[in-house]
Amino acid sequence: MKKIKDADLQLLLGHVLRAGTVISITIVFFGGVIYLHRHGHLIADYKIFRGTPGFIHEPAGLFKGVMQLRGQAIIQTGIILLIATPVLRVIFSAVGFALERDYLYVGISLLVLLIIFASTLSGHAV
């Protein structure tokens, strides 16, 4: 088995970040085009506040909205992917360090991942 070098790991992590960013931007753009096509002609009424629709707040509703090609759901999915990209980088880092047998950095990466998940779960967002 070929030994993984530091440069290989850095190249892989760079590709993960770049691909995640490009894919999420593409998804957000596609959702924006759909949203503007369907709602671009509407005049905004700023006297009444209308927040995001309820289906965006639940994973099942978000998935259903994407399947129905609803622009807001597609935009939200792209934003979620953009937020998940650095988390995926930390996961790839931990795996890469494990393959390099650099257990100190595996521990540090897992600690960072634990902090990310703990702060996500302890948030007060509704």
Give the helix/strand (H/E) hosting 77: helix 71-100
Q: Would you say residue 109 has pLDDT above 80?
A: yes
Query: How far apart are alpha carbons 38 and 40 in whole angstroms?
Result: 6
Q: How many Å is the Cα radius of gyration of the chain?
A: 19
What pLDDT does 126 receive?
Answer: 43
Q: Would you say residue 44 has pLDDT above 70?
A: yes
51 versus 1: which is more confidently predicted?
51
What pLDDT does 124 receive?
Answer: 55
pLDDT tens-place string over residues 7-39? 777 888 889 899 999 999 999 999 999 999 998
Count the Cβ atoms, other than its own, within 10 Å of residue 121. 7
pLDDT tens-place string over residues 48-78? 887 778 878 888 988 998 999 999 999 999 9
Of 62, 58, 64, nearest to 76 by C-alpha is: 62
Q: Are 42 and 114 in contact (CB under 8 A)?
A: no
Q: In the block, which residue shows the tokens 């905004």?
A: 44
**Percent of the chain residues past pLDDT 90, beyond the cut:** 47
